[in-house]
Amino acid sequence: MENVDQSAVKEQLALYGLASDAAVIQPFLKWAGGKRQLLPEIKARLPKNIYDVTYHEPFVGAGAVLLDILPKNACINDVNKELVNCYNVIKNQSEALIHDLKKHENTEEYFYYIRELDRSEAFSSMSDVEKASRMIYLNKTCFNGLYRVNSKGHFNVPFGNYKNPKYADSALIKALSLYLRNANVNIMNHDFEYALSLAKEGDFVYLDPPYDPLNATSSFVSYTAGQFGRDAQERLKMCIDNLVNKGCNILMSNADTTYIDSMYAGTYIVERVSANRNINANGAGRGKINEVLIRNKYEAYKAKP
């Protein structure tokens, strides 16, 4: 694969006061559907002017694509309020967050005490730093790194029993904070339709929505108390059409299903790629699966033959 010009990446890192080795800039959470494994395929399909336009990501999740590109101007959004709070705390209160993360203990008893906080009145009185610290701790110590809530919005993943989980990663938090503070990154907590309404002609939008399920039992849409069904997929398609008509360039990842193909084939470029699924409660459900990358017809980085 031919990737984004590495000199541009180094220039971006220098702009944010970071060393040329970008390894420390990576997602601070494990995330279902995270795109680290698919990055070479995504990077090969970025528009050639990626560093000259505003980057939008309405389903930012753990931010694998954002943190690989490190755009100078970005609007990131997620409907998950706790996740967005983490981004804001890392950006504005990184030292306080690092300090709070160090108080946690990797024991089953302590884990369930922290997990139960969102079921009590004490949760509403917790500071933003404490809530962000709780989310990162639970994510790094729960089973398989899942973030899942029940219909009441309560975190419900069991203890993972890992030997040395790294939840107080000060180097990562400091580097990410430096990037978020020095770049022009707007962090939002809205429905995707509102977030996409802010994109202007010439902007680039990367979309990684909750995937259309491959079968009746494969859907994972419980990282908020709501759901992302086919009505939402169809609303998203309307937003994408509007973006392209406005003059934006879009790239979306989604499941390789007949339903998704029927919506986008013919109008958009639909390419199938192989990706690793690493987060799944059933071990048999992990491994290589096909996904699709969908984009409009802009000039992109080409994959080598």
Give me the phi and psi of 236, to 5 degrees please.
Answer: -65, -40
- Average confidence (pLDDT) over 184-194: 97
Is residue 271 within 8 A of residue 261, CB to CB? The reply is: no
Start-to-end CA distance of the chain, whole Å, equals 9
Residue 22: per-residue pLDDT: 46
What is the value of pTM for the model shown?
0.88
Domain coordinates in residue numbering, the chain: 6-81+184-295
- Average confidence (pLDDT) over 70-86: 96
Tens of pLDDT, residue by residue over 104-141, are 999 999 999 999 999 999 999 999 999 999 999 999 99
Q: What is the CATH number of domain 6-81+184-295?
A: 3.40.50.150
Confidence of residue 17 (pLDDT cuts 50, 70, 90): low
Asked if residue 279 has pLDDT above 60, the reply is no
Confidence of residue 226 (pLDDT cuts 50, 70, 90): low
Residue 281: per-residue pLDDT: 46
Q: How far apart are CA 149 and CA 293, in angstroms?
A: 28
Asked if residue 4 has pLDDT above 50, the reply is no
Name the 3-class secondary structure at 73: strand
Confidence of residue 24 (pLDDT cuts 50, 70, 90): low
| Bridge partner list, 207 | 252
Q: Which residues of 238-251 are buried (b: 16+ CB within 10 A; e: fewer)?
A: ebbeebbeeebbbb
Q: What average pLDDT does the chain have?
A: 87
Asked if residue 21 has pLDDT above 90, the reply is no
User: Which has more confidence, 144 or 22?
Assistant: 144
| CB proximity list for 135: less than 8 A, separation 6 or greater | 29, 82, 83, 85, 86, 147
Residue 302: per-residue pLDDT: 59
Q: How far apart are CA 132 and CA 100, in angstroms?
A: 9
Q: pLDDT over 70 for what percent of the chain?
A: 83
Asked if residue 297 has pLDDT above 50, the reply is yes
Let me know the angle formed at the C-alpha of 69 by 192 and 8, rounded to the nearest 5 degrees: 145
Asked if residue 188 has pLDDT above 90, the reply is yes
